[in-house]
Amino acid sequence: MPHGHCYLWQEHILWTNVVSDLVIATAYFSIPIAILIFANKRKDVGFHWLFLLFSAFILLCGITHLMGIYTVWNGTYGLQGLSKAATAAVSLITAVYLFRLIPEAIKLPTLIQFEGVQAELVHANKESANLKNQVAEHQLTQFMLNAHPAGTLLIDDSLTIVYCNPAILRELNYPHKRALIGKHLSDFISIDDPDISFGSLGELLEKTTSLTQTALCHVVAAQGTKIPMSMTVVQEKLHDQDMILISFLNLSEQRQIEAQLIDYHKRMERVIDATEDGIWEWYVQENRVVYSNTLMKLIGKAHIEKPQFEDWFSHIHPDYRTEVMNAINQHLASKDKYQIQYLGLDKDGEYSWFSAIGDSQFDDEGNAIVMSGSLRNIQRSKQLELQVKEKTDILNAIYNGSSQAIWLLQVEENDFTFLEFNETASSRSGIAVSNIIGKRLSELAKTVISDELTAQLNGNYRRCVQEAKPIEYIECIPLGNEPRWYQTTLYPLFEKNSITKIVGSAIDISTRIEIEEALNQNQQFLEKMINSAVCGLYLFHLGKRKTVRINQRFIDLLGYDLDELQDVETQNDCYHPDDIESMTAHWQAVKQGSEGQLLPIKYRFKHKDGSWVWCYCVNTVVTFKNETTPEIVLGTFVDITEQTLLLNQLQESNAHLEQFAFVASHDLQEPLRKISAFSDSLRSRLKAHAEQDEKIEFELSRLVDSASRMRTMIQDLLKLSRIHSTELTRRPTTLKAIVEDTQDQLSYILHESKAKLFYTGEDIELKLDHSLFIQVFQNLIANSIKFRQPDEVPIIKISVTESSYSWKISYQDNGIGIADEFRQQVFEPFRRLNAQSRYPGSGMGLAICKQIIKRHGGSIMCSDPIDKIGAQFQIELPKKERSNS
C-alpha cells in the first residue's frame, strides 16, 4: 500500500515530506562530490578509504530519502528496506574504520606547530628557489652562448679566453674548445683598425665597467687561413662580476659580394661606354644630371667634366627645343613613356637626327624623382628610311603599272582577306578595287565571284598555307564568258613561324595555252595512233642501255610503265634464262646492222606479275650517233604467249589422250567388263552356297570391290583427260558459292564425319571455271575427311586474298598431314602414300586438282602448315585470263 495513505493524501503533509526528502537527497548527493574533490586535490592528507566510506555512507543516505519519496505513491517497502540495510552496513563499516584511525588523528600537529614548521619550510623554499634561479640563469646564459649563430668568446681582464661557443669553433674549424681556451687574443687575431690595438683595448677594459667596442680584424683559422671578420667587445657587470664577451661576424661573403659589385659596376661602365647609346639620368627635384661618356661624345661635348642639363639642351636644334620640352612635360604629367626624335648637333658639329627615350620614378605624391633614359644618333636610320620610302614609291609604281596581276591576302583561321589588289588584277578579273579591298573571300562568293571559283581560289590559298612554301600552278579564271588562263604564284609571308599573309601574282598565258593546246591535240593524235597499234613499241638507247620510250600497248602486254621497265632492265633478269644466249647474239646483230634493217626474234620477257610472256619482236636501228655507231633502236613486238602455250598444252594433252585412249579402250575396259560380268554371274549362282559359307561371300565381295575400284580409276582418268579436252568457262563467282555447291555434293560424308568448314574472304569475286573448281574442292575436302586424325572432328579452313595481279587461296585441315619428302609427289597421277586397305582411293584426286589449276594458268603447292598440324595447300591464280605452262 502506498505510504500516501498514511498522509491521508493531504497535500500539505504529503508535499512537505516529499520536498524535504528531495532537498535532503540533493544535499546528500552533493556532499560526496565535495569530499571526493577535496580528496583528489589533497592527496597528501591520506586516509582515502575514509573519504570513500563517508562518500558511500552519505550517498546511500540520499538514496533512502529518494526511496521515501518513491514509496509515497508505490508501496515497494521491500526495496526501501534493502536501501536502508545497505546504508546501515556502510555506516557501521565507516564507524569501525573511524575508531581505528583515532590514534593517528591525535598525532596530527596543532595549528601553532604547523605554522612554525610552515615558516621554516617557506624560508628553505626561498633559498632553494634562489639557488635554482641562479643555476637556471647560468644554464640559460650558457645555452644562449652555445645557440648563438655568431662566434662568441668569454675573456678575462688579461684578454685570455676562458670560454668559447660552438659557433666560433665551426667558423675557425677547431675540433674542440680546448684549442682556444687559455689562448691570448693576440695569438690568433690581428686588428686591422689603426686606432685600436690589444694594448689600448686592455687599458679601456681596466678604466671602465661598461664598454662596447667594434673593430675589423683577421682571425687565423685552424688550417692557418686568415678570415676577415668584424669583432665586437662588450663589457658588462653580472652579479658584481665583470664579464667580457667578444662576438665575431664573418665578412668573407660580404667581401666577396663587394668585389662582385665592384666588378659588376666596372663591367656596366664598360658596357655603357661600348654601346652606341648615350645613357643619362636627370634628378628632377635637384636639377642634377648624370651623363655617360658616350652621350657627351654623341653631342660633341666630351671635354666637359661636370655636365649640366643645359649642356644637352643647347645641342638641340632651335626649331625642336619647344617640341622636346613639351614631350618632357607631357611625360611628367601623364607618366607615359618619354620618346621623341629631334635634330641636334653631333660630334662633328653638324645637325643629325637623334632619338631620346626615357622613363621616370615618382614619389607617393606623383612628383618625379629621377628620369632615366638613353640617346641614340639615328641619322643612318633616317637615311635608310628615306631610301626605303624612295624604293617603296618605285615598288608602288611597279605594283600599279605591272602587267602582272598582284594581290595581298591576310590569312585568317578559315578565310582570307584581300589587303591589296592592283589595277592589273582588277582589269583581268573584272572586279573593281573598291569592291575587293578589305573583303573576305567568303564575302565575295555569290556577289562578285561564283561559288565554283571561290572554292577553287580557297583551295589554292589553303594549299599554300599547308605546304608553307611558294607554290606555282596554272588556273582558269573566266572574264565574262571568255576563259582566261593564268600562271599563278603564291608566296607565303611568315611571322613568328606562322604564315600571316600571302602575296599572289598571275601572268596571263591564255595565248600560250591556246598554242600548247593545239600542239597537245596533234601530239595526242600521234600518241593515239601509236598506242592503238596492235603491237608493243619501244625505243631503246644503246649508249644508255635502257628503254627511253614505250607505247600504251607495251604497258598492256607486259604490265610495266617506263620507270618500272628501266628498274627491271638494271636488274638484268627481264629475259628468261633459256633465252639469254639468243638475245645476246640478237643484240650484237642489231648493233652491227644497217639503218632500216629488220631483225626478228622470238623470246620470253618477264611480265610485271612475274609470269613469262612469249614475244615475237622485230628491232631496227633508227638513229646513229655517228656514221657507224647506232644509238636508238625501234622495237615492235606482239604477244604470242597464248599461241605458244596453247600449242604446248595441245601437244601435252594429245600425248595424255593417246596414252589414255590406248590403255582405257584395249587394256583396261574390256577385261574389266568381263570381270564384272562373271563376278555378277558367280554371285547369282553361288547365292545359296554363299549364305551357308561366309568365306565364299567374303571372296566374292573382294572381287566385286576390286572391279569397282578399277572402274573408279578409269573414271578418274577420263576426268583428267577431259580437263584439257574441254574449253574453260570462266565466269564471276565467289569462294562461298563454290564451297556451298561442293558441300551439296559431299553432304553425306560431311554429315557422317561431322566435319566443320571455316572460310574467310568468301565474298571476294573470282573469275574462273565454277564447275571445275567444284571438283578441286571435292577432292581436297574428301581427302581431308578421309585422312583425318582418329577420334577427331575434321576442321577445314579456307581463305581467299587478292592482289593487283592474282588471287591466293589457302586450304588447311587438321588431318594426318603430308611428310616433307612427299609434298611434290602427291600431285602425280596414281600416287598413293598409304595402304589401300586403310585409306581406299585411286590416287588421282590431287593430280586432277593440279591439272584444273594449271589449266587456269595458276599453281598449287603443298606447304608447311602454320601450326605444324594437318596438311596445307596454297593455290595462286592469275587475274589475267592466260594459261601458263
User: Which of the 8 DSSP states describes residue 545?
Assistant: T
User: What confidence tier does 24 reach under pLDDT thresholds 50, 70, 90?
Assistant: confident
User: What confidence tier does 360 reach under pLDDT thresholds 50, 70, 90?
Assistant: very high
The model's pTM: 0.30
Question: What's the whole-number average pLDDT of the chain?
Answer: 83
Neighbour count for residue 885 (Cβ, 10 Å): 13
Query: Is the per-residue pLDDT at 661 higher than 70?
Result: no
Q: What is d(CA 50, CA 97) in angstroms, rounded to the nearest whole number?
A: 7
Q: State the burial class of residue 496 (Cβ atoms within 10 Å of its Cβ: 0-12, 13-18, 19+).
A: exposed
What's the pLDDT at 716? 61
Q: Which of 173, 169, 175, 137 is nearest to 151 (CA)?
A: 169
Q: Residue 725: what residue type? A: S
Q: What is d(CA 312, CA 358) in angstroms, rounded to the nearest whole number?
A: 15
- Enclosing H/E stretch for 161: strand 161-164
Q: Are 314 and 296 in contact (CB under 8 A)?
A: no
Query: Is the per-residue pLDDT at 777 higher than 80?
Result: yes
Q: Are 278 and 292 in contact (CB under 8 A)?
A: yes
Mean pLDDT in residue range 789-795: 89
Q: What is d(CA 456, CA 552) in angstroms, rounded to the nearest whole number?
A: 33
User: What confidence tier does 9 reach under pLDDT thresholds 50, 70, 90?
Assistant: confident
- Enclosing H/E stretch for 799: strand 795-802
Q: Are strands 795-802 and 756-760 parallel, antiparallel or unpaired?
A: parallel
Angle subtended by helix axes 11-41 and 48-73, to nearest 10: 160
User: Which of the 8 DSSP states describes residue 870?
Assistant: S
Query: Is the per-residue pLDDT at 122 higher than 60?
Result: yes
- Predicted confidence (pLDDT) per residue in 666-692, tens digit: 566 667 666 777 777 777 777 676 666
Q: What's the grid cell of residue 73?
A: 505513491
- 534: Cβ–Cβ under 8 A, 6 or more apart, which residues? 553, 638
- Predicted confidence (pLDDT) per residue in 564-591, tens digit: 888 877 766 788 888 889 989 999 999 8
Mean pLDDT in residue range 864-876: 88
Q: Are 854 and 652 in contact (CB under 8 A)?
A: no
What's the pLDDT at 270? 72
Long-range CB contacts (< 8 A, 24+ apart) of 92-99? 93/53, 94/50, 94/53, 94/54, 94/56, 94/57, 97/49, 97/50, 97/53, 98/50
Outline where 74-164 has alpha helix (H): 77-106, 111-147
What's the pLDDT at 885? 38
- Tell me which of 3.40.1280.10, 1.10.1040.10, 3.30.450.20, 3.40.50.920 is the CATH number of domain 402-513: 3.30.450.20
- Predicted confidence (pLDDT) per residue in 144-154, tens digit: 777 777 888 88
Mean pLDDT in residue range 585-599: 88
User: What confidence tier does 64 reach under pLDDT thresholds 50, 70, 90?
Assistant: confident
- Predicted confidence (pLDDT) per residue in 842-868, tens digit: 677 788 898 889 888 899 999 888 778
User: What confidence tier does 714 reach under pLDDT thresholds 50, 70, 90?
Assistant: low
Share of the chain above pLDDT 90, in %: 25
Class of domain 533-639 as given by CATH? alpha beta
- Specify the 3-state DSSP secondary structure of 518: helix
User: What confidence tier does 219 reach under pLDDT thresholds 50, 70, 90?
Assistant: very high
What's the pLDDT at 489? 94
What's the pLDDT at 114? 62
What's the pLDDT at 884? 41
Beta pairing partners, 234: 212, 245
What's the pLDDT at 19? 84
- Predicted confidence (pLDDT) per residue in 256-308, tens digit: 888 888 888 777 777 766 677 888 999 998 899 999 888 999 999 989 989 99
Beta-sheet strand order (sheet of 278-283): 288-291, 278-283, 368-377, 351-362, 338-345
Q: State the burial class of residue 168 (Cβ atoms within 10 Å of its Cβ: 0-12, 13-18, 19+).
A: buried
Q: Are 476 and 496 in contact (CB under 8 A)?
A: no
Mean pLDDT in residue range 384-392: 81
How many angstroms separate the Cα of 426 from the Cα of each of 321, 402, 431, 483?
A: 49, 12, 5, 16
User: Which of the 8 DSSP states describes residue 479?
Assistant: B
Q: What is d(CA 851, CA 194) in angstroms, rounded to the nearest whole number?
A: 122
Q: What's the grid cell of residue 318?
A: 632651335
The architecture CATH gives domain 727-878: 2-Layer Sandwich (3.30)
- Enclosing H/E stretch for 557: helix 552-558
Q: What is d(CA 800, CA 765) in angstroms, rounded to the nearest whole number?
A: 10
Q: Are strands 795-802 and 161-164 parallel, antiparallel or unpaired?
A: unpaired
Query: Is the per-residue pLDDT at 790 higher than 80?
Result: yes
CATH of region 148-256: 3.30.450.20
Q: Are 849 and 858 in contact (CB under 8 A)?
A: no
247 against 628, higher pLDDT: 247
Task: Give the angle 362-365-369 at the CA atoms, nearest 5°.
Answer: 30
Reply yes or no on domain 275-383 having CATH 3.40.50.150: no
Q: What is d(CA 751, CA 223) in angstroms, rounded to the nearest whole number?
A: 104
Beta pairing partners, 504: 407, 490
Q: Are strands 416-421 and 405-411 parallel, antiparallel or unpaired?
A: antiparallel
Share of the chain above pLDDT 70, in %: 85
Angle subtended by helix axes 694-725 and 845-855, to nearest 10: 10
Q: What is d(CA 753, CA 747) in angstroms, rounded to the nearest whole number?
A: 10
What's the pLDDT at 809? 94
- 730: Cβ–Cβ under 8 A, 6 or more apart, which residues? 767, 768, 769, 881
Mean pLDDT in residue range 724-747: 86
Task: Give the angle 606-610-616 at the CA atoms, nearest 5°.
Answer: 25
